[in-house]
Amino acid sequence: MSEQPKTFPVSWEQLHRDAKALSWRLMNEGPFEGILAVTRGGLVPAAIIARELDIRLIDTVCIVSYSSDNKQGELKVLKDAPKESKGWLIVDDLVDTGKTARAVREMMPDAHFATLYAKPAGRDIVDSFITEVSQDTWIYFPWDLALQTVPPLVQGKYD
Rounded (10°) CA dihedral 118, 123, 125, 131: 40
Q: What is the pLDDT of residues 32-84, one digit of tens each?
A: 999 999 999 999 999 999 999 999 999 999 998 766 666 667 888 888 888 88
Structural contact between residues 155 and 25, judged by C-beta atoms closer than 8 angstroms: no
Domain that holds residue 135: 7-155
pLDDT of residue 69: 60
Structural domains of the chain, count: 1
Does 92 participate in catalysis according to the annotation? yes
Does 124 participate in catalysis according to the annotation? no
Within-domain flag for 147:
yes
Within-domain flag for 29:
yes
Q: According to the annotation, is 93 in a ligand binding site?
A: yes
CATH of residue 91's domain is: 3.40.50.2020
Q: Could you tell me the pLDDT band of residue 10, with boundaries at 50, 70 and 90?
A: very high
Asked whether residue 5 carries a pLDDT value surpassing 50, the answer given is: yes
User: For residue 54, which amino acid is it?
Assistant: D
Q: Could you tell me the pLDDT band of residue 3, with boundaries at 50, 70 and 90?
A: low
Distances in whole angstroms, Cα of residue 70 to Cα of each of 9, 30, 73: 15, 34, 9
Q: According to the annotation, is 40 in a ligand binding site?
A: yes
Within-domain flag for 23:
yes
Q: According to the annotation, is 122 in a ligand binding site?
A: no
Provide the whole-model pTM: 0.85
Query: Which residue in 18, 59, 96, 136 is the catalytic one?
Result: 96
